[in-house]
Structure 1
Amino acid sequence: MIKPLEELYRLIGQQINGSPREKGIFICWIGQPIYWVIFLGCAAGLTLSVFIEGVYNPLLWAGLAWGLIASLMWLAIALFGSSTPMSESGETRFANFTILLFGLSGIVSLLLVGPFNLVTGIVLTGCVLIGLLLFPAPQITLVFACSMAAILAYAIAVSLDSTLYRPLLSPVDYRPAQVWYDMMTIMAAGLIIIKDSFTVAALTSTWRHREASTFDRSIRDPLTGVVNRGHLLQTLNQQLSLPVRNRKSLAVVLMDVDHFKQINDRYGHAIGDQALIHVAETLQDNLRDNDLLGRYGGEEFLMLLPGATLSQAQNVAERCAEALRRNTMPIAGSPAIKLTASFGVSSTGEASAIDAHTLIEEADRAMYTAKHQGRDRVVTYSRPQ
């Protein structure tokens, strides 16, 4: 039982990323339970009216017919939408048609069950929530406004006793009949709440996942998968903007792959890209969970080490340098490439006020010192006292 529910949850959630046609078809299916509830409720009412006085209402026949007709109508529209090829503009028209028809069929249902009752309120709220998750707000707002206008006009007509019939959920004088109508109201409301809650939960879960995925892609370097320069600088600025009393030591390590241009020239840019991925993976494997690695530019990588002193950051950089020396990168048909890098380390240390630009610039100076001293080494920046 759990597996089919999980699959249904996943399928419903996917609709938020679907095409206009797929969303229109989804509306056809999501409306089915409402009309089956009307059909079955009216059928039960007609059956029970034989035994309990006061249950009978002529509108039970209309509800029985409408529930069946609306269910078959939405089934036909769903099958038509699934089987008919459509252009992009055709899909949009199909979606707009389903939204409009859903609103109109909802108004017809309202005329049967009556305005401003538990079931009407729950259906209206659920439809608006689902609609806003799937479609542009102006479309749903227009349909909602028209529905509210119809509800208000109908409620006024009912209050003035100007209607010629009694809505299905209006109060009755006979107590046993009223108990039955109350039970049907509660059962219908409960089923619709379960259906809408499940649907809204599936859609919002997928929406949150989509938003999280979009954000993650926006901060990632598309080649290496580590964070990009923008996110590095944003995180570093946030760390340095903390009040001094709450700020811990922070170290940065800037590294540059040695002789990277020669790798591109000799093996081609595809192998050069593989080398950058290899470097990123090697560095990531040698950092703590709360450290942040990012691609600073080209073949340069920047590591943010929260809470690390200068000596601790130097140890981390030495560990990364040793891992690069040890982990050669295999190449099909050629000897494995031994990659090395030059590392520059800087730390906030005792400085009470230092900005991101200065901290990175210090690490950059130390890195270029490492290059001038022969590469494949770690150099720390000594700040003048």
Structure 2
Amino acid sequence: MPAVDRNPLPITDLLDWSDRDKSLLLSVLTGLLMLGFLGWLLFTVNYTRFGEQFLSVEGAGLARDIFLFNVIGWLLLSCWGMALHKTKRHSVAYPNVCIHFFGFSFLGIGYVMGLYNPIVGLVLVGSPLTGFILFDFKRVTCSLVIHTVMVLAIYALIVQGKLQYAPMLKADPVTKDLVSVYWVNSMIAFATPFLAMVFGFTYVLLRRWQIREKQIRALAVTDPLTGLDNRRALFDQFSYELARSRRSGNPVSVCVMDLDHFKQINDRYGHAIGDKVLLMVARVLRDCLRETDRIGRIGGEEFMLLMPETDQQGAEKVIERCRQRLNDTPVEVEGQAPFHISASFGVTCSGTGDTLGEEQLFSRADQALYLAKEAGRNRMAFWSLSQEAVPA
């Protein structure tokens, strides 16, 4: 099945690019690097003493042909990728050709410059890493195996004297008695952009892992529809606030809120409007609660409000403000008259000397909610030890 075409994505979303666009980026970057090799060779041969002292005429000619072949190859691959991108088409062959040509390009460089060259070492380490970041494991592993075998074959032929080692060089520019500064600086100059490319791709990968980890953590504690805390996050915070309350002696109040007749809204207007109502409720509650309060969705139309350092009188003021605002906020429905909603609230407070845990206190608030509904809905009820639950 062909890949689904996407709109252009920023470089930070590189891992979301199609294989076509990843291959196009690889073609352009590698092509520029190969152009740098060719430019270095021409400059070195024609304008430096290093060329006269260390480069073989025949070897430099062979290197020029290989470098030029690489530049033309990557130019053609870049044009192919641009044509595919412009026409929004995908090709299974294009990424495969790019991956294998990448190996062949550096294999030729390694042969003419010497397999013990630092550039070859960097490529052997950095290329698989870059490949595994950009493409699938099987495809990259196949290319890696093929080119590793070819490196070993070239090495074997050199040992047997059937191939010349580093034919571009007629003398070794780095020995025990001589170190060519020009050669060392040239190798550093070639290694820097390659390392930058590998580092950039690795940074994108690590950054994406960090983003996804944050998203996973957020999903674990967040209601996906409303963006509010979910039950797990709320009870973790509830446990913390209870412990803090017992240390400080300050009360903490918890409220369970349920939308009245929410099933009728879904049945009459559809679940899309039901979701719209839940989003509106979340927005209203956020506006009505204080910065220190926590709110979350713990069920279909059930919400939980956690109010630290709040006694019954304070909780009553906060919840009445929420109840009234919900009553006064219309829900707009396209093609129909807007309607209003209401909610019922059950509240309990934990004071000094109270040793109940969060589950027991939640159960009390839930019992109070049941009483509020039994008393006619659109109201709040407080749990009381003497009266079980007292409507307000």
- Per the normalisation by structure 2, the TM-score is 0.75
**Is 1:354 aligned to residue 326 of structure 2?**
no
Q: Counterpart of 1:380 in structure 2: which amino acid?
A: F
* Distance change (3 Å), C-alpha of 1:114 and 1:215: farther
SS in 2 for 1:297: coil
Q: Distance in 2 between matches of 1:124 and 1:189?
A: 12
Match of 2:41 in 1: 42
Q: Distance in 2 between matches of 1:335 and 1:220?
A: 33
Matched residues, number:
369
Instruction: Look up the SS of the partner of 2:289 in the other structure.
Output: coil
Amino acid at match of 2:257: M
Report what 2:231 is aligned to.
232
Q: Which structure 2 residues correspond to residues 183-202 of structure 1 after superposition, within 5 A?
A: 183-202=185-204
1:83 aligns with: 83
Gaps spanning 5+ residues in structure 1: where? 1-8
- Please give the alpha-carbon distance, in whole angstroms, between the structure 2 residues aligned to 1:150 and 1:105: 12
The corresponding residue for 1:276 is 278
Identity of aligned residues (%): 29
- 1:131 corresponds to 2:131: yes
Cα 1:299–1:68 shift into 2, 3 Å: same
- Whether the aligned pair in 1 keeps the contact of 2:55 and 2:168 (CA below 8 Å) is no
Q: Distance in 2 between matches of 1:113 and 1:383?
A: 88
Larger Rg: 2
User: 2:5 aligns to what?
Assistant: none
1:321 is aligned to 323
The root-mean-square deviation of aligned C-alpha atoms, in Å, is 4.2
Give 1:341 shift.
1.0
What is the CA distance between 1:313 and its match in structure 2? 4.8
Q: CA deviation at 1:280?
A: 1.5
Distance 1:104 1:59 in 2: 18
2:342 to 325, 340, 344: 340
> Cα deviations across residues 282-337 of structure 1 (Å, max 9, x unaligned)?
112233556543332222222345x4445455544333223223333344565543
Q: Quote the Cα distance in structure 2 between the aligned partners of 1:64 and 1:242.
A: 73
**Among 244, 256, 275, the residue aligned to 2:258:** 256
Query: Corresponding residue for 1:99?
Result: 99
More displaced 10-residue stretch of structure 1: 71-80 or 329-338: 329-338
Alignment of 1:140-289 (within 5 A): 140-144=140-144, 147=147, 164-166=164-166, 170-172=172-174, 178-206=180-208, 208-209=210-211, 212-213=214-215, 216=218, 220-227=222-229, 231-233=230-232, 236-237=235-236, 240=239, 251-288=253-290
Q: What is the TM-score normalised by the length of structure 1?
A: 0.76
Q: Partner letter of residue 319 of structure 1? A: R
Q: 2:81 & 2:149 partners in 1: Cα distance?
A: 30
- Unaligned 5+ segments in structure 2 are 1-7
What is the rounded CA distance, in whole Å, between the counterparts of 1:48 and 1:214 in structure 2?
58
Distance in 2 between residues matched to 1:142 and 1:246, nearest whole Å? 62
The answer to whether the 8 A contact 1:37-1:67 is kept is no
* CA-CA distance at 1:340 after TM superposition: 1.9
Q: CA deviation at 1:143?
A: 4.0
The alpha carbon displacement at 1:175 in A equals: 8.8
Preserved contact between residue 25 and residue 82 of structure 1 (Cα < 8 Å): yes
